[in-house]
Chains A and B, each alone.
Chain A
Amino acid sequence: QSVLTQPPSVSGAPGQRVTISCTGSSSNIGAVYDVHWYQQLPGTAPKLLIYVNSNRPSGVPDRFSGSKSGTSASLAISGLQAEDEADYFCQSYDSSLSGSVFGTGTKVTVL
């Protein structure tokens, strides 16, 4: 029941920059609500990567950056590394659901 849309997959060579989009609506991202991003390595639990649009928790490399504009948000990974190969999910609050919504998820492949 994802209401945030992400591309199914993105890929890039080591060292390149990739971006992942997250498109919502006027009841979530397009409203006042912030966007957060999670990284899920194979076989593990999701981990908070970016919170409140552009903030990195302690320990997250500055290669990861986030932004929000209008009804969309983006996650950028610069200097792509093999260890970045994972699934990435955006998340926000939705006022029509009175709860959390997640994106459809994007698989990042390092070529």
Chain B
Amino acid sequence: QLQLQESGPGLVKPSETLSLTCTVSGGSISSTSYYWGWIRQPPGKGLEWVGSIYYSGTTYYNPSLKNRVTISVDTSKNQFSLRLSSVTAADTAAYYCARQSVGGTYWYFDLWGRGSLVTVSS
């Protein structure tokens, strides 16, 4: 059964870069059927899509974060990664990685990791 697991520092200083990795197990990240996404949730608030990537490297980013976010994929390690630069306290959130089904009229996240809480503080 496919599983996703986020990993990375739980504390990042303001103005620095947040880096997280999602490891996919029980299946291949190179599947042509899926994209892979990052979603975040500030404490006590709603969900916000951060961005998505296909195994070929094609990316889609939330316009509100586009200037600061980079998502990459490493098919040899079955991993994809998130980098968010120039972070502030507003970037404090639980970050989830997820498998994403995409079709002509749909785009949804059918499997999620458990999440990684990242706090931005000096």
Contacts and interface: CB of A to CB of B under 8 A. Distances in A.
Q: Are these two chains actual partners, yes or no?
A: yes
Interface of A: 1-2, 32-34, 36, 38, 44-48, 51-52, 57, 89, 91-93, 97-105
Given A99-B63, A102-B47, A104-B46, A46 B105 contact: no
Nearest to B6: A45
Contacts of B115: 45
Contacts of A105: 46-47
B107 A45 contact: no
A52 B47 CA distance: 19
Contact of B106 (A34, A38, A102): A34
A107 to B, nearest CB: 11
Contacts of A38: 47, 109
Contact of B96 (A45, A51, A97, A103): A45
A52 B109 CA distance: 11
A34 B62 CA distance: 19
